[in-house]
Structure 1
Amino acid sequence: MSTPPIARRGFLKGALGVGALAATGSLAACAPGGTGAAPSKLAAPSASASSVKGEITIWNRSGDLFKVFDAAIGKFRAAYPGVTVNHQAVDIDAKLANTLISGTGVPDGSFWDDAKIGGQAEHLFDLTDLIAPYRDRTAPYKLSVNTVGGKIYGVPWDLDPGLLWYREDILEDAGVDPAGLATYDDLVTAARTVKEKDPTTKPIHLDKDPFLGQLWLEMLANQQGTSLTDAQGKLRLDSAEYRRILTWIETAVKDGLVTHVPYLKPADVNTLDSGQQVFVPWAIWWSFAPQQLLKRTKGKWRAAPLPAWTPGGARSGAMGGSSFVIPAKAKNPELAWLLYEFLCFKEPGYTAVYGPNDVYPGGLSTSVPSFQPALDPAKPLFEPIEALGGQDLWKVAVEAAATIPAAAPIPWWWAQSVDYLGNNLQRLMEGKMTPDQVIAESGEKIQRNLIDRS
């Protein structure tokens, strides 16, 4: 795989970062419940595939993923020979929001992050009727984050399930059965056992980046069926679910069980390779690390479902994600829908994206489709990964993805809340704040500075 693993972190930081939210006043005005015009509802073209004609401009991010989609669009051109697709690599984070607001030069469709869609709904087509035939077969999480006021504004693409990455050899040496890590209490117990066997270990990874730390926190909250706000935008940080996560972090820190380092920077890579870190609860896209960065421990890492927060609870949550949007002022929105329908809901569309290709010979293994018929454990879209000892990551990820609960639209101010919650989460990891202090201080500042001002 040719994309550096750090690129996924950069991709996510760009996806949710403040750069694309610079026009705070404009975004606040078009947040859910704003005063903008009612969104237009889009209907699919009625002509047959062979007779549909026209031209569309589609925006995607540059890089390896652009190349993957470009090849998949080639399959679409074969299915719809009358449609010309101008596939363009664009700095979407810097350009798309302002383009939607100005209404000039808008593409017919664009890749976009789930975090952005709720705040720009009035500038997008209502796709509810078009998604309806696929709704019951789409991951509930992806539907929920694309829904504002009961209407769907994004075509769900990827699903990024959280997994527990672990060193198989170290657990075996310590007598820890990974199949027994059913809850987060079990994970702490296992970390203590590993540390008793080798006091130099600090087994559990906690991330030192405030943005990624908060994104990780939201994955753990999603596991419990909650998120920073509800569907009406009401803050729900002060809850049993968030307190459970923060208390667990506090316990692990006090017991000396954590390595607190920034994601895949040298200190992280070195402690992963040295055996100091043994457990990494993280999204599927951590698979980049053993495939590209880890040298001494390549082949020794494995993936399992996340532990549950309570016995019998969900074994995964979503960490990040993207979809496709169709601007309300697009020239040929119906044709853009046909493209996205093909890529997300049709065969061979999703196979062209996730299956083996020139860019990723073994397939795209950093997420899975959100369309459930594509998630057949017995029919993997990407191959077993040599850097994981030949493990069938597809099967693990698909089974974990099936447990991800639904969520709520991500508030437009999420990235700005990192200044409060993300930073205070770091102070908790450093032993400088308590869970109650994190909740009280972060909640008060988010409410006053972000929610009330919107």
Structure 2
Amino acid sequence: MSTPLMNRRGFLKGALGVAAAGSLAACAPGGPSTQPSKLAAPTASASSVKGEITIWNRSGDLFKVFDAAIAKFREAYPNVTVNHQAVDIDAKLANTLISGTDVPDGSFWDDAKIGGQAEHLYDLTDLIAPYREQTAPYKLSVNTVDGKIYGVPWDLDPGLLWYREDILESAGVDPAGLATYDDLLAAARTVKEKDPTTRPIHMEKTPFLSQLWLEMLANQQGTSLTDAQGKLRLDSEEYRRIFGWIQNAVKDDLVTHAPYLEAADVKTLDSGQQVFVPWAIWWSFAPQQLLKATKGKWRAAPLPAWTPGGARSGAMGGSSFVIPAKAKNPELAWLLYEFLCFKEPGYTAVYGPNDVYPGGLSTSVPSFSPALDPAKPLFQPIEALGGQDLWKVAVEAAGTIPAAAPIPWWWAQSVDYLGNNVQRLIEGKMTPDQVISESAEKIQRNLIDRS
């Protein structure tokens, strides 16, 4: 894999919804205020379908990947012209949907933004129906508002446990035995006993990413910040379990508190101070592009479970495709997204080897199960992971991710409360009960009650 560092990191920051869209939301979680438009599939044959569509994507490496995949679409639909544009979606899309002026026919968008703008999007429920049973439950659930689906599910970002194989071997720790988060703490203590300079477990120092990480750990347990009706459920056994685990790791001095892949993080990863990184699949970028001294020494495994036999992964981030209700040619946009997400050779063109990623796109996996064949990998084993078959690990983890609920429009704004308090917990300045009570009170008062 070879791609410019800033392009890749810029994509990650954008795809995770760093820019808050809450102030632009026209309705509260739970459903649009007006009846959404329902889109029907075109009935003409591929050879007779004609027209032109404008499609928005983010700039950078993924734009190039999609551009090449769209070329495959043009082969299947030779009379459809696709005007593929690189756009600052976080800054432009929500305003464009609200104004209804110069809207694209389709756009890439963060899962976290879709629920809050459902009234401005086509209801795609009937179009998704033939693929529903073969689509990851998580992706369907975050794209569903009041029983209607508003996004075409694209990527699935399973959480994995990244670890230093050489250090675990030296410490006598078998990674196959890391079945629960208690096992992970025990292994971290063993590693630290062998080398007191280690702080084995990475915990994120930026509030936004630490809250996104928290939601991955909650999703593993089948919960999330709100339920499908927008009711806050932070005060729960599942969140207390996570916060208690964080507190124990901090008390035992097992934590490296560093910002995601910034200089301090990379230095401690390469020095051997960090040994475990429970994070999304897109952390695979680190050994491929950033780590020098430890390149080839990192491996991936499923996340530990919170309870014996529990799910071994949760989703961390993700994006889908939307079709604005005021699009000029929405049916043609659907054909494009159907091709990219649910058809062969569409999803292979996106994830398989290409000019941008010679080994294939390995920072997520498709959300469509026919594309997730362990025996037919879309991306190749990764040399920077010692030749590990990351595809197999990621596909198996993806299959355990529980369903969730639509992400509330105010999620990014809640970082000012919950994300900041998670930081105080990691710093030893707050208890789990304080994080829950203070965060819940402020989110309810300042975000939910005002929506």
**Do both proteins adopt the same fold according to a TM-score greater than 0.5, normalized to the shorter chain?**
yes
Question: Deviations along 1:86-135, whole A, 9 cap, x unmatched?
Answer: 00111111000000000010000000000000000000000000000000
* Conservation of the 8 A alpha-carbon contact between 1:227 and 1:408: yes
Question: Deviations along 1:336-373, whole A, 9 cap, x unmatched?
Answer: 00000000000000000000001100000000000000
Separation of aligned partners in 2, 1:201 and 1:248: 19
* Conservation of the 8 A alpha-carbon contact between 2:17 and 2:112: no
Separation of aligned partners in 2, 1:287 and 1:23: 26
Question: Against the structure 1 CA distance between its residues 298 and 72, is the aligned structure 2 distance closer, same or farther, given a 3 Å change threshold?
Answer: same
Separation of aligned partners in 1, 2:442 and 2:153: 32
Question: Deviations along 1:222-273, whole A, 9 cap, x unmatched?
Answer: 0000000000000000000000000000000000001001011111111100
Is 2:445 the partner of 1:448?
yes
What residue ranges of structure 2 are gaps of 5+ in the alignment? none
Question: Against the structure 1 CA distance between its residues 378 and 173, is the aligned structure 2 distance closer, same or farther, given a 3 Å change threshold?
Answer: same
1:62, CA displacement in angstroms?
0.5
Question: Against the structure 1 CA distance between its residues 26 and 442, is the aligned structure 2 distance closer, same or farther, given a 3 Å change threshold?
Answer: closer
* Conservation of the 8 A alpha-carbon contact between 2:22 and 2:412: no
Separation of aligned partners in 2, 1:309 and 1:227: 15
Question: Against the structure 1 CA distance between its residues 153 and 124, is the aligned structure 2 distance closer, same or farther, given a 3 Å change threshold?
Answer: same
Question: Against the structure 1 CA distance between its residues 413 and 109, is the aligned structure 2 distance closer, same or farther, given a 3 Å change threshold?
Answer: same
1:15, CA displacement in angstroms?
4.2
Residue among 326, 334, 342 paired with 1:337: 334
Question: Deviations along 1:357-403, whole A, 9 cap, x unmatched?
Answer: 01100000000000000000000000000000000000000000000
Q: For residue 209 of structure 1, what is the aligned residue in structure 2?
A: 206
* Conservation of the 8 A alpha-carbon contact between 1:16 and 1:414: no
* Conservation of the 8 A alpha-carbon contact between 2:199 and 2:274: yes
Separation of aligned partners in 2, 1:8 and 1:427: 29
1:14, CA displacement in angstroms?
3.2
Question: Against the structure 1 CA distance between its residues 153 and 167, is the aligned structure 2 distance closer, same or farther, given a 3 Å change threshold?
Answer: same
1:28, CA displacement in angstroms?
4.1
* Conservation of the 8 A alpha-carbon contact between 2:68 and 2:349: yes
Q: Secondary structure at the match of 2:429?
A: coil
* Conservation of the 8 A alpha-carbon contact between 1:16 and 1:116: no
Question: Deviations along 1:293-313, whole A, 9 cap, x unmatched?
Answer: 110100000000000000000
Residue among 346, 349, 369 paired with 1:372: 369
Separation of aligned partners in 2, 1:251 and 1:5: 35
* Conservation of the 8 A alpha-carbon contact between 1:2 and 1:64: no
Q: Secondary structure at the match of 2:257?
A: strand
Q: Secondary structure at the match of 2:28?
A: coil
1:145, CA displacement in angstroms?
0.2
Q: For residue 152 of structure 2, what is the aligned residue in structure 1?
A: 155
Is 2:226 the partner of 1:233?
no
Residue among 89, 93, 96 paired with 1:92: 89
* Conservation of the 8 A alpha-carbon contact between 1:287 and 1:365: yes
* Conservation of the 8 A alpha-carbon contact between 2:21 and 2:94: no
Question: Deviations along 1:45-73, whole A, 9 cap, x unmatched?
Answer: 00000110111000000011000000000
1:193, CA displacement in angstroms?
0.3
- Aligned CA RMSD, in angstroms, stands at 1.4
1:37, CA displacement in angstroms?
2.0
1:6, CA displacement in angstroms?
6.2
* Conservation of the 8 A alpha-carbon contact between 1:12 and 1:320: no
Q: For residue 132 of structure 2, what is the aligned residue in structure 1?
A: 135
Q: For residue 250 of structure 1, what is the aligned residue in structure 2?
A: 247
Q: Secondary structure at the match of 1:365?
A: coil
Separation of aligned partners in 2, 1:279 and 1:337: 41
* Conservation of the 8 A alpha-carbon contact between 2:256 and 2:274: yes
Question: Against the structure 1 CA distance between its residues 451 and 5, is the aligned structure 2 distance closer, same or farther, given a 3 Å change threshold?
Answer: farther
1:30, CA displacement in angstroms?
2.5
Separation of aligned partners in 1, 2:14 and 2:282: 16
Separation of aligned partners in 2, 1:133 and 1:144: 16
Separation of aligned partners in 2, 1:320 and 1:401: 13
Separation of aligned partners in 2, 1:347 and 1:237: 41
1:220, CA displacement in angstroms?
0.2
Q: Secondary structure at the match of 1:29?
A: coil
Question: Against the structure 1 CA distance between its residues 92 and 423, is the aligned structure 2 distance closer, same or farther, given a 3 Å change threshold?
Answer: same
TM-score, length of structure 1 as denominator length: 0.97
Is 2:270 the partner of 1:269?
no
1:9, CA displacement in angstroms?
5.1
Q: For residue 47 of structure 1, what is the aligned residue in structure 2?
A: 44
TM-score, length of structure 2 as denominator length: 0.98
Separation of aligned partners in 2, 1:212 and 1:191: 22
Separation of aligned partners in 2, 1:52 and 1:377: 35
Separation of aligned partners in 1, 2:55 and 2:235: 41
Q: Secondary structure at the match of 1:259?
A: strand
* Conservation of the 8 A alpha-carbon contact between 1:161 and 1:397: yes
Q: Secondary structure at the match of 2:408?
A: coil
* Conservation of the 8 A alpha-carbon contact between 1:43 and 1:129: yes
1:5, CA displacement in angstroms?
5.4
Residue among 406, 417, 423 paired with 1:426: 423
Separation of aligned partners in 1, 2:191 and 2:65: 41
Question: Against the structure 1 CA distance between its residues 46 and 232, is the aligned structure 2 distance closer, same or farther, given a 3 Å change threshold?
Answer: same
Separation of aligned partners in 2, 1:268 and 1:6: 16
1:186, CA displacement in angstroms?
0.1
* Conservation of the 8 A alpha-carbon contact between 1:15 and 1:93: no
Q: For residue 13 of structure 1, what is the aligned residue in structure 2?
A: 13
1:11, CA displacement in angstroms?
3.3
More deviation, 219-228/33-42: 33-42
* Conservation of the 8 A alpha-carbon contact between 1:38 and 1:122: yes
Question: Deviations along 1:191-225, whole A, 9 cap, x unmatched?
Answer: 00000011111100001000000000000000000
1:17, CA displacement in angstroms?
4.6
